[in-house]
Structure formats: structure tokens, C-alpha cells
Amino acid sequence: MTAGRFGDFGGRYVPEALIPALDELDEARRSAMADPTFLDELDRLHRTYTGRPSIITEVPRFAEHAGGARIILKREDLNHTGSHKINNVLAQALLTKRMGKTRVIAETGAGQHGVATATAAALMGLDCTVYMGKVDTERQALNVARMRMLGAEVVPVDHGSATLKDAINEALRDWVAAVDTTHYLIGTVTGPHPFPEMVRDFHRIIGVEAREQVLEHTGRLPDVVVACVGGGSNAMGIFHRFIEDEGVRLVGVEAGGEGLEGRHAARFASATPGVLHGAMSYLMQDEDGQTVESHSVSAGLDYPSVGPEHSYLRDTGRAEYVYATDDEAMEAFALLCRTEGIIPALESAHGLAGALHLGRELGPDAIILVNLSGRGDKDMHTAAEWFGLVDDVVEDDEIVPPGESDDPGATGDGRTQL
């Protein structure tokens, strides 16, 4: 058993050339997490830049549709840049400076982590390159412009399937060649050790705050904590503080896409353990071990593997994993908009769909805490198409791109953001 394992999962399946950089990073983050100067600086950024602590909001009108259970949202959507991603990005950017490196690189599915990384790089004066599947750059031209506005270089990746996993491959290639000056700012709880553990720790604040807030608001712990799971960073962030609270169920909601008969990203419902991007975890793969492409209406959940600690929590039974289809997620998305005046990210809408099911199962005495990991402004194009809100505009390619591509590898839907 090597360092950085969660049971059988995790590890370091990367070229030898990267091992010294991973060791350096591991040492740097350990010393930083024990250094009051680093922690104070991070805390100051959380308060004065991100807007932490994020609030909780109870949503009774939404909860009427969930068997009357009490539903409480942790509002990561209110953070600067619009999602939980900023928690990890600011911390890793500080670490980058601490290691004396001057450049960060990042992957992004369709923009959210890329924008957060470009934001932190601008704030701290770091060079920034973001790798993004070419299909996604075309469908997310506005986000490419946002990143460039913030001073980042955006590199379209046009080989493989030209989507998120290929953007990660290209970022890894860049990192091997430029590791002396460059930190790879991975955006979720996957990749080689120490990334899964480190990114989790940088998001742990979500659960620490929420646990205290729910206790204060309701006088007790929630019965269930629910979060969507793509790579799984927002879920690890809110779960981790509750792991030792044995009475609290932890439920991760994967993207069921078109349903298990069609294309989807429900790894735990269908996949077997394997290695991708440096970590052993559940992986959608064919008989030969080639990666199978995933699909979700939400690009942030559209990834064929999942953070290794989730695999461990699943196999040990501490957390449960369910999935919500595109239809169910869109229904929950619309419901929160119309009952509470909150437009959630499509990713987070999967968590809401899970909460609707759980509430009906548990009844009115239950308290369900949902991580509202991001806001949905970015998803308006998908929503407009889905619900037919702007049919007079959809015809105009100049204003609303079709969200389709001739590229045979473009099986995902890149109109939303990671």
C-alpha cells in the first residue's frame, strides 16, 4: 500500500517524470496547512474575496414537492465566480506561489474551473493556461472570452474526443514538459496523490460551515447530506465533516444522462475499478480497458471516472450513490427556479433531484442538507433550449450557437460548464 490510498483506490499512476513534483506538492501542502501565515491568508481571501462563510437557505416551497421534509441549501452558488470551485483554486494558487512557481495550468470542461483558475491567476499575478476541448471552446465561446479577459491563454484541444478528458491529457503533457515553473491546478478530487486529499481539504470548509449552520438553525444535525458528484469535489467538501456523524446519511447523485440504457455518467451504477488520469477509481471502460465516453446534460458531471475517495466511501458503505437522469435534473432545476427564485447550476440540480426523492422517502420529519454547488446563469442557453423559452432566438446562430458539432467525438453536451 502506497501513500495516498483510500482503501484500494487512489495512488499515483503517472509518468516517473512527475513524481518529484508530486512529492514537492505533497510536502508544500502539508507544511502550508500547518503554517498560520498560510491559513490566515487563505482565511482572509475566503472572507474578503470569495464571500465566505456562504449562507444556508431553507426552501419550504420547494420542499412541499419533497414529501414535506425540511430542505436546507448550502449556498456555494453565492461565492465569487459562482461556484464552490473558487475554494480550491485560491488555496492552490497560494501554494503555487509558496513553491516559487510562476505559472498555473488547468483543464476545464466548459468553463467553470477554468474561469476560477484564471481569476485566481489574475489576483495573484500568475501566468495561466487553460486546456479545453475544442468542441467545448466552440460551444462556450463566451467562457473562452471570460478567461481571456482575465488574462489567461485558452488552448483548444482537438485530438481524442476533443472534450474534458482530452483537455486533462493535454494539461498533463504540458505539466511534464514545464514542471519546473508550472503547477497543474487540478479542479476536482481526482488525479494522482496528493490531489484527491488536498482538493478535498480545500473544500472541507463547506461542510464545516454547513454543519454549524444547520445545528444553529434546526437544533440538530441533518438526516441526510446530498451533493452532486462529477469528479466529486463539492460532495467531498460537504461530506467530509459529517463522516464521523454516524447518524447522518451521505448521498452522492451522479448524472444518469439518458438513463442506464442510453448514454450516461452513472459510474457507480455501471463501472468497474480502473486507472484514469493518475488514480485508481471506478471507471467507465470497455472490455479492453479503453475509456468509454460519458454523457450528461451537465458538463460538470460529464466525466467517465470519479474521485477515488468516493469509491472508497461507496465500497465501505459510508456513502450511497444514486443517479438522476437529465429529465429529472431539469425538472428539479425548473422547480427551484419557480418555487424559490434561485437558479441552480445544472450540476447542483442533480443534487436537488436526489433530495426530492429522499424527502418523499423520509417524510416531513426529515432534514435534508443539499450542497447548492453553483449558480445557473451559465446554463441559461441549455435551459432555454430544453424548455423552449427563446424559440425566436434559437434560429440565430450568431446569438445562440446550436450546441452541436460535426465532430464524431462530440458526444457530450458542452453547453454547460464544469
Partner 1 sequence: MSTEVTASAEPGTGDTDRGVASVIERCRAEGRAALVGYLPVGFPDVETSIRAMVAMVESGVDIVEIGLPYSDPVIDGPVIQRATEAALRAGTHVVDGFRAARAVRDAGAPPLVMSYWNLILRRGVDRYAAELAAAGGAGLITPDLIPDEAADWIAASDREGLDRVFLVAPSSTPERLSRVTAASRGFVYAASTMGVTGERASVGPAARDLVERTRALTELPVCVGLGVSNGDQAAELAEYADGVIVGTAFVRALTGDGQDGDVEARLEAVRELARDLARGVRERRQS
Using CB under 8 A as the criterion, which residues of the chain lie in contact with partner 1 when the complex forms? Answer: 2, 11-21, 159-160, 165-166, 169, 172-173, 176-180, 274-278, 283, 285, 287-291
Cβ at position 187, least distance to partner 1 in Å: 17
Nearest to 123 by CA among 50, 199, 188, 54: 50
Select 47 or 159, whichever has its Cβ closest to partner 1. Answer: 159
Determine whether 320 is an active site residue.
no
* Choice among 294, 296, 305, 373 that is catalytic: 373
Select 63 or 172, whichever has its Cβ closest to partner 1. Answer: 172
Cβ at position 115, least distance to partner 1 in Å: 24
Select 287 or 398, whichever has its Cβ closest to partner 1. Answer: 287
* Choice among 54, 74, 83, 85 that is catalytic: 85
Select 88 or 305, whichever has its Cβ closest to partner 1. Answer: 305
Determine whether 107 is an active site residue.
yes
Cβ at position 117, least distance to partner 1 in Å: 20
Cβ at position 128, least distance to partner 1 in Å: 20
Select 288 or 397, whichever has its Cβ closest to partner 1. Answer: 288
Nearest to 63 by CA among 373, 376, 343, 355: 355
Select 19 or 149, whichever has its Cβ closest to partner 1. Answer: 19
* Choice among 107, 209, 293, 328 that is catalytic: 107
Cβ at position 180, least distance to partner 1 in Å: 8
Cβ at position 418, least distance to partner 1 in Å: 17
- CA distances to 43, 112, 279, 415 from 210, rounded to whole Å, are 16, 23, 29, 30
Nearest to 130 by CA among 140, 115, 142, 149: 115
* SS3 assignment for the chain: CCCCEECCEECCCCCHHHHHHHHHHHHHHHHHHCCHHHHHHHHHHHHHHHCCCCCEEECHHHHCCCCCCEEEEEEHHHCHHHECHHHHHHHHHHHHHHCCCCEEEEEECCCHHHHHHHHHHHHHCCEEEEEEEHHHHHHCHHHHHHHHHCCCEEEEECCCCCCHHHHHHHHHHHHHHHCCCEEECCCCCCCCCCHHHHHHHHHCHHHHHHHHHHHHHHCCCCCEEEEECCCCHHHHHHHHHHCCCCCCEEEEEEEEECCCCCCCECHHHHCEEEEECCEEEEECECCCCCECCCCCCCHHHCCCECCHHHHHHHHCCCEEEEEEEHHHHHHHHHHHHHHHCCCECHHHHHHHHHHHHHHHHHCCCCEEEEEECEECHHHHHHHHHHHCCCCCCCCCCCCCCCCCCCCCCCCCCCCCCC
Select 159 or 220, whichever has its Cβ closest to partner 1. Answer: 159
Determine whether 373 is an active site residue.
yes
Active site residues: 85, 107, 373
